[in-house]
Amino acid sequence: MTRELQGDLVLGSVSLPQRVNIPVPAPVEIAILDDDHVIRLTRYALGGPGEITRDWARAFFLPEEMDLACVFALGDGLHPADGVSLIPMAAKRDLRQGSDATVLIFRRGAVDAALMDVNPKLKLIQRLGARADAIDLAAAAERGILVSCVPRATLHLTAEHAILMMLALGKRLIEADDAVRKDRWDRDRVKPDHGVAYNWAGIENIGGLFGKTLGIIGLGEVGSLAAGMARGFAMRVLYTNRNRLPTAQEEKLGVEYASLDRLLAESDFISLHTTNVPENRGLIDAKTFAAMKPSAFFVNTARGPIVDEAALYDALTKGTIAGAGLDVHAEEPRPTQDRLVTLPNVILTPHIAGGSRKGVLKEIETVLNNCRAVLTGQPIAYQVTAT
C-alpha cells in the first residue's frame, strides 16, 4: 500500500518530516516484546486508540499539550488499515512458540538464536536503546536479519543532568548565584585589584569535578553515559552493579568495579542509576549515607522511592554528607512544606532530567522509519553488526 504524504508534522518544538510515497507490502506482523511508557506510545502510533487509550496518551505528555493525531501519524503506512497487525507483549504470549512477525521491537529483554529460529520471517530486530549486548548479533547476521539499536536522547539528557547536579553542588552554584543577586559580601574584606574581586562573596569549599572520584550505583545505559561524561572531566569512576561487566567493557568505559562499601567510602560524588523495581525501594538508606565521606555529594536522577528521604534529611542536617541533588522525589510533585525544601545544601529540580516528553517522538519516529525501510528494502538507521 502507498501513502501519499506531504509537509511536516510540528510537535511543539519538534518538527518531524512526513514520508512520501512509501509502499508497505501487506500483510505484516510487528511483535512488541515488552512494555514501558515509550513502547506504549509506539503502540499508539501503530494502532491508534484502543488498548492504549487517548486518555493515557494525553496524560503521558501533561502538563505539555500534545495533538494525539500527530502521534498516530508517526505510524503512517504501518496502521491496521495498511495491513499491519501488532503482537503486543509478545513475551507474555510466548514468542518462543513462533509467529509470522517481520519486525521485533523491544527495549528490555534478550533476543537469541533460538528466538530467531522460531520466528523465521524476521527481517528486523529493533531495540530502543544503543546497547546491543542482549542481542545475538552473529546469529542475526547468519539469518540475514538486520539489527538496529537507536540511541535514546532522553537517556543522554538524564546523564547530562546528573553531571549538571554534580557541577552545581561542587561549585556551590546556587549559593554563589544567591550571593550576587542579594549583594551579599563583606565590604571590609574585599579590595578589588584592577577591577578584579575574586570570590567577593566569600563562598567556602568551592570545588569541581577535576580529579574527583565518582561512584555510580547501577551501570545501565544512563549510568554508562554518565561515566563517559565524567571521564571527560578527568574524574575517576567507580561503579557497583548487580552483575559486573566483562573486563573489556570496563576498559572501554574507563570504569572500575568496586563493592558498594568501597564505592561509598572512596567517592566524592555518588550518582544513583538503579532501576525502580520493588526490591530497590529504600535501597539508599541511613547506612548508605553513614558510609559516605562527610565531604561527599549524593545525586539522584533515577527514581525517588529508591531513596529513604527521611534518612537523607538526617544526613544533610547532621553533616553526614555535604549535599544532594534531586531531580526525582519520593512524592511528585514534592509538597511545598517538605523538610528537604528548606535545606540550603540541596538542589531540587522537578523531574526534568530527561527533557521534554515530546523528545521521545523522535526516538519513535526513527524506530518506525526503520520498520518502513526494512519492509521496502531501504537502509535502516543505527544498524548494528557483529564484529
The answer on pLDDT for 17 being more than 60 is no
What per-residue confidence (pLDDT) applies to 96? 77
What is the rounded average pLDDT of the residues 213-237? Answer: 97
Inside any domain, residue 195: no
What per-residue confidence (pLDDT) applies to 27? 82
What per-residue confidence (pLDDT) applies to 21? 43
**22 vs 197: CA distance, rounded Å:** 64
Q: Indicate if 178 and 85 belong to the same structural domain.
A: no
Res. 51 pLDDT band, cuts 50 70 90: confident
What is the rounded average pLDDT of the residues 201-216? Answer: 95
Q: Indicate if 243 and 362 belong to the same structural domain.
A: no
What per-residue confidence (pLDDT) applies to 22? 54
What per-residue confidence (pLDDT) applies to 24? 62
Q: Indicate if 365 and 328 belong to the same structural domain.
A: no
The answer on pLDDT for 376 being more than 70 is yes
Structural domain for 74, as ranges: 2-122+357-375
Q: Indicate which CATH number applies to the domain containing 305.
A: 3.40.50.720
Backbone angles phi, psi at 301, to 5 degrees: -120, 15
pTM of the model: 0.86
Q: Indicate if 159 and 304 belong to the same structural domain.
A: yes
Q: Indicate if 295 and 363 belong to the same structural domain.
A: no
Name the residues annotated as catalytic: 303, 332, 351
The answer on pLDDT for 94 being more than 80 is no
Q: Indicate if 267 and 337 belong to the same structural domain.
A: yes
Inside any domain, residue 70: yes
**18 vs 30: CA distance, rounded Å:** 21
Q: Indicate if 108 and 168 belong to the same structural domain.
A: no
Domain count, the chain: 2
Taking only the tens place, the pLDDT of each residue in 153-199 is 999 999 999 999 999 999 999 999 999 999 999 998 999 999 999 99
The answer on pLDDT for 104 being more than 80 is yes
The answer on pLDDT for 8 being more than 50 is no
The answer on pLDDT for 119 being more than 90 is yes
Q: Indicate if 251 and 333 belong to the same structural domain.
A: yes
Taking only the tens place, the pLDDT of each residue in 27-45 is 899 999 988 899 999 999 9
Q: Indicate if 107 and 230 belong to the same structural domain.
A: no
Res. 109 pLDDT band, cuts 50 70 90: confident
Torsion of CA 238, 272, 354, 39, to 10 degrees: 100
Q: Indicate if 273 and 298 belong to the same structural domain.
A: yes
Inside any domain, residue 127: no
Taking only the tens place, the pLDDT of each residue in 317-361 is 999 999 999 999 999 999 988 999 999 999 999 999 999 999 999
Taking only the tens place, the pLDDT of each residue in 267-288 is 999 999 998 888 889 999 999 9
What is the rounded average pLDDT of the residues 97-104? Answer: 90
Q: Indicate if 240 and 329 belong to the same structural domain.
A: yes
Q: Indicate if 85 and 56 belong to the same structural domain.
A: yes
